[in-house]
Amino acid sequence: MNQTQPQPLAGQTAIVTGGASGIGRATGLSLARLGAAITLVDLNERLAEEAARDLRQFPHAVEPLVLRLDIRREADMAEMARLTLARFGRIDILVHSAGILRGTGSKPKLLAEVEMAEWEEVIATNLTGTFLCNRAVLAAMMEQRSGQIINISSTSGLKGRPLDAVYCASKFGIMGLSQSLAEEVRNFGIRVQVVAPDAIDTPMWDQNGPIRPPADALPADRVADLIAYMVTLPLDTILGEVIIAPFRTRRRKKPPASEGSV
């Protein structure tokens, strides 16, 4: 007789911001596959509903909660937590993936050319959004004395690069915020980590105009696989607070004939 395989995240609830596309969408799918109930948060309601349809494919799937909310708005993030608790009764995992590369309609430029509006849009989305989203779930996690928060930064949060100073600043900020929070909530049984991917082929690249992803950029589901592994580890597992994931699909060079190639 066939038996359903154990689901390591069964009975747990995960919120995924930016869940309509890219790393967020892939992560929602990975966590649902492992049995988690999923709240998808995104401003693109159409794509979020498409992502929710994918989550329903699993025989054990819990009906996902899709929320059109803005991570930059304090009231929206409070509503995210409230509605998730009302539907599922708990918040075990937050994967904060929502973010932007640069301001609306902008392009790579020197810092001397960056306008205040662009600075404010990127910082509000990437850094203030991280603060508001993380803060919104803390009360529930602290009360249940368990939880996991994974914030998505970038290798651009470790080393600045030209023409993207605002983005880099926001991603550096995510690192510091997450590390500080990790120290604050460790004794509540809450683990806070950052995943810093290298080049990943996601829709965010569209904000680069004609610049396309590197040929060896990985698909988003590789990052999702890493996140799924991280959240299935026991909370007392010792892991670094910043997980650097600069993996790329590098092509191996063909060895010379003297090394035994045929």
Active site residues: 167
For the CA atoms of 204, 52, 174, 227, the dihedral, rounded to the nearest 10 degrees, stands at -100
Provide the β-strand partners of residue 195: 152, 243
**CA-CA distance, 8 to 10, in Å (whole number)?**
6
Q: With contact defined as beta carbons under 8 Å apart, do 205 and 213 qualify?
A: yes
**Beta pairing partners, 193:** 150
Residue among 46, 48, 47 at smallest CA distance from 38: 48
Question: Rounded to whole angstroms, how far apart are CA atoms 204 and 220?
Answer: 11
3 state DSSP class of 196: strand
Query: Within a 10 A sphere around the Cβ of 220, how many other Cβ atoms?
Result: 23
